[in-house]
Amino acid sequence: MRRTAIAVMLTTALVGLWHGPASAQPGASVAGKWDVTIRMPDKSVSEQWTVQQKGKVVTGTAKAERELPVTGSIDGAFLRVTVTDGKQEYKVRATVDGDAMDGSITYGPGKEYLWHAKRPKK
């Protein structure tokens, strides 16, 4: 039993060294312009996002009726950003797949909506 536990620990350590930590994966490229749609029960809201990226750090603006700052990070294909409107914060969690992102936006308890972004064709 003890030998099995040691073998499992050594195998896990070697696999970790071989593949490196999961967070070492390069982030997807999200820099550029995005057409964003937020689906709410009674309507859809459209926004245009302009995103800058330096490594894992993501910044930018979300523009609908006015421009709001976007800050956060990308880890592999997982985008996590916050859009700030005064004291209100909107949390976006999405998965990047090339020129599309799908996820959700949350604010306040129980307020979570589908969030989709697509890079416009050039």
Report CA torsion sign: 28, 31, 32, 34.
positive
Q: Which residues pair with 69 in a beta bridge?
A: 61
Backbone φ and ψ for 60, nearest 5 degrees, come out as: 165, -160
**52 neighbors 31 (Cβ within 8 angstroms):** yes
**CA gap 101, 58 in Å, rounded:** 14
Lowest mean pLDDT among 4-8, 84-88, 117-121: 4-8
Angstrom CA distances, 34 to 12, 86, 92, 109, stand at 40, 23, 14, 27
Domain ranges of the chain: 24-118
Mind listing the pLDDT tens digit for each residue in 101-114?
999 999 988 899 99
When the candidates are 3.30.1950.10, 3.40.50.720, 2.40.128.120, 3.40.50.300, the CATH number that belongs to 24-118 is 2.40.128.120
Q: What's this model's pTM, rounded to 2 decimal places?
A: 0.77
* Confidence check: pLDDT of 11 > 80: no
Per residue in 71-97, pLDDT (tens digit) is: 999 999 999 999 999 999 999 999 999
